[in-house]
Amino acid sequence: MGLYTKARRHIDMNRIKELREEKIKQKKIAEEIAEQIGEELRNINSPEFSNWRGETDIKEMDSL
């Protein structure tokens, strides 16, 4: 008997396919969430967006 013969009795290819499909679905969901977060952060009106090169900084530097 080989090393994996006992394990092969308990492994079902249908279950392996299901697990793979679940992993792919979870990966797609994670990518969509990351994309949504990125879009929200890129929104200029968002409070998380930092425009450190904006015109206000240049005007403040000129007045000093």
Question: Which one, of 31, 37, 58, 60, lies nearest residue 49 by Cα?
Answer: 37
Residues sharing a CB contact under 8 Å with residue 42, sequence separation 6 or more, in sequence order: 49
Write the DSSP symbol of residue 54: S
Quote the number of domains for the chain: 1
Q: Above 90 in pLDDT, residue 38?
A: no
pTM of the model: 0.51
Is 43:49 a contact under the CB 8 Å cutoff? yes
Which range has highest mean pLDDT (11-15, 23-27, 31-35, 51-55)?
23-27
**Domain range for 40:** 5-63
